[in-house]
Amino acid sequence: MKHTKLKIALACDHAGFVSKKKLVPELSKEGYSVSDYGIYSETPADYPDVAEKVALAVQDGRIGRGVLICGSGDNRHLQRLDKLRRIERSNMRSEQP
């Protein structure tokens, strides 16, 4: 199914970089318009800042959905996003092969 109209923003922490790198082409192949908001390597960086950029892009309508990939799956440090309107967080986990 193609989703040519929906814009999706992705961001990750350094531990989620490899997963994000795999997800971008898969979403594009399905017809989503994907914007990568960072982090762009496995070097530790300030993940809450890029996560907030994604949330603000969703909040103001530039992006339809945002996906944040955290290597630990914890996301406690993203609680500040809960204060933004139109933003909902949920944790999903997957088993590593």
Q: Quickly state the pLDDT bin for 70 (edges 50, 70, 90).
A: confident
- pLDDT tens for each residue of 31-44: 999 999 999 999 98
- The answer to whether residue 51 is domain-embedded is no
Provide the whole-model pTM: 0.80
Does 23 reside within a domain? yes
Q: Would 88 be classed as within a structural domain? A: no
Say if residues 31 and 5 touch (Cβ distance below 8 Å): no
67 vs 51: CA distance, rounded Å = 9
Q: How many domains in the chain? A: 1
**Residue 2 belongs to a domain:** yes
Range of the domain at 20: 1-41+64-69
Q: Region 15-26: what's the mean pLDDT? A: 92
Could you tell me which of 95, 1, 10, 23 has the C-alpha nearest to residue 55? 10
- Res. 46: pLDDT tops 70: yes
